[in-house]
């Protein structure tokens, strides 16, 4: 083994030496998984890959104007998180009790709105 002591060889193990080309074979030959040493494949995010979206009608349950987020209540379902960036139109805020239409998708913490539309408000003349 080219003068390597047994203790060093045991400390690093045969995989290290094979990757370094000491035990015959190149670093790529030892890499049978196709992943470079030190690199890992990112785990798949099931929420980004999910095509599950749904349309709903709900009522604004809670809204924090300073922080720009809140929750929409949908009958018979969990509350939906909404951020001001997904509100359509020039007014990027919601009013508690306001009726809205929204498109939702699953997220790691529950459902979130991807698009929110205000329902037409009645104009009193």
**Domain coordinates in residue numbering, the chain:** 1-39, 50-118
**H/E stretch holding 118:** strand 110-118
Hey, what CATH topology would domain 50-118 get? OB fold (Dihydrolipoamide Acetyltransferase, E2P) (2.40.50)
**pLDDT, the chain, mean:** 74
**Torsion angle in degrees (nearest 10) through CA of 102, 107, 109, 112:** -10
Q: Model's pTM, two decimal places?
A: 0.55
How far apart (Å, rounded) are the C-alpha atoms in residues 6 and 75?
A: 69
Neighbours of 30 (CB within 10 A): 19
Q: What pLDDT is recorded for position 84?
A: 96
pLDDT, tens digit, for every residue of 34-93?
A: 545 555 454 444 444 445 667 889 999 999 999 999 999 998 888 999 999 999 988 899
CA 18, distance to chain mean position in Å, is: 37
Please list, in sequence order, all residues whose beta carbon lies within 8 angstroms of the beta carbon of residue 99, skipping any fewer than 6 positions away. 57, 58, 59, 119
Rounded Cα–Cα distance for residues 98 and 77 (Å): 18
pLDDT at 76 (0 to 100): 85
Backbone angles phi, psi at 85, to 5 degrees: -70, -20
Question: What DSSP line would sit under 70-86, residue for residue?
Answer: EEEE-TTS--EEEEGGG
């Amino acid at each position: 083994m080219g003068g390597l002591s047994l203790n060093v060889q045991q400390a690093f193990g045969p995989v290290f030496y094979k990757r370094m080309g000491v035990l015959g074979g190149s670093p790529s030959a030892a890499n049978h998984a196709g992943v470079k040493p030190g690199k890992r494949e990112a785990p798949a995010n099931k929420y980004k890959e999910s095509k599950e979206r749904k349309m709903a009608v709900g009522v604004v349950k809670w809204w924090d104007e300073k922080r720009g987020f809140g929750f929409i209540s949908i009958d018979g379902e969990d509350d939906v998180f909404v951020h001001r960036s997904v509100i359509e139109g020039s007014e990027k805020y919601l009013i508690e009790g306001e009726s809205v239409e929204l498109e939702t998708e699953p997220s790691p913490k529950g459902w979130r709105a991807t698009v929110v539309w205000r329902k037409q408000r009645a104009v009193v003349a």
